Amino acid sequence: ERYQAAVMELEQHINSSGTKITSVTLKDGTKVRAPDCSRISYEEEPRLMLLREWTLFDSMLCSSYIATKLKTWSDNGIKKLKLLLARMGFALIECQQKFPYMNNEVKRKMKQEFDRFLPEYGLNDFYYRSFLRLHGYSSRVSAADVVYGITALLESFLGSGGSSASKQFGEAYDALSLNNLDKLRLGMQQAIKVQRAILRQGSAAITKTGCIRSGRKFRWVKIEDSIDAKYLGYPQALTKFCYFLMDALREKGARMKPMLCACASQQ
């Protein structure tokens, strides 16, 4: 409710900030679509992580909201996902293209088909009100995308020569500028790597007997994989990992308990 109230307040602010110009008439009378230069828009967004930065298939495969419901780390889960796409009339080869290059007709049908089929899988309220930053004709970045990208930059010292936390803060701050969209996209790609690591380690923990240990009051798990520890050895990444495990266990019918996770620190 607090989120909805905040969204409505911001939408009112956007509406009062000026009239949206959607087209421009040239001297010869030709109308062309006006670029959405540096403005904020609001619309409904699907609960698919960084959808515009990879493929629809990969985003559905790895996004925690869908992955924990369909168990996409298993062969049966992948079959369910492919069947879902087929039922919606989306060709698999189309869904495995980079999202910006997907067929526009598929993009237009997405919300209608998601709303039609996803409730059968327990995936309700799949769309939520959010905001987009529009710049030029092609740059569309959602508020959630920015959060993922900036968080990944803050929690990543990889490839930065062992930089300090203060330097990473500067990198993340710079990425908020419209002049540094490439830097923000680097953060988004890092966030995708983190999410893939969450799916890998989450599936291993859930399917491997004894990996998740349970006490009377809480459960705990330790990340042993040194490669994925590079991505998950940070506070926010570990928090997302724990939420992933808790959601997956809830889908299996397990009683909810707090989750503790141990991982080698990367700082």
Residue 37 phi, psi dihedral angles, 5° rounding: -80, 115
Residue 123 lies in a domain: yes
Give the 3-state secondary structure percentages of the chain, helix then strand then coil, rounded to 5. Answer: 55, 15, 30
Residue 229 lies in a domain: yes
Which amino acid does the sequence have at 93? I
Residue 72: strand, helix, or coil: coil
Residue 48 lies in a domain: yes
Give pLDDT, residue 23. 57
Over residues 181-195, the mean pLDDT reads 93
- Give the model confidence (pLDDT) of 96-155 as tens digits: 999 989 999 999 999 999 999 999 999 998 998 888 887 765 678 888 999 999 999 998
Residue 206: strand, helix, or coil: helix
Residue 209 lies in a domain: yes
Residue 138 lies in a domain: yes
Q: Cα separations (Å) of 45 from 191, 199, 200, 210, 218? A: 18, 22, 26, 38, 34
Residue 180 lies in a domain: yes
Confidence of residue 159 (pLDDT cuts 50, 70, 90): very low
31-45, 82-96, 220-234: which is most confident: 82-96
User: Does pTM top 0.85 for this prediction?
Assistant: no
- pLDDT tops 60 at residue 158: no
Q: What is the mean pLDDT of the chain?
A: 85
- pLDDT tops 90 at residue 219: yes
- Domain holding 7, by residue range, is 2-262
Residue 267 lies in a domain: no
Over residues 153-169, the mean pLDDT reads 71
- pLDDT tops 80 at residue 5: no
Task: Report the number of distinct structural domains present in the chain.
Answer: 1
Listed in sequence order, the residues at least 6 apart from 134 whose beta carbon sits closer than 8 Å to its beta carbon are: 36, 37, 38, 39, 40, 41, 140
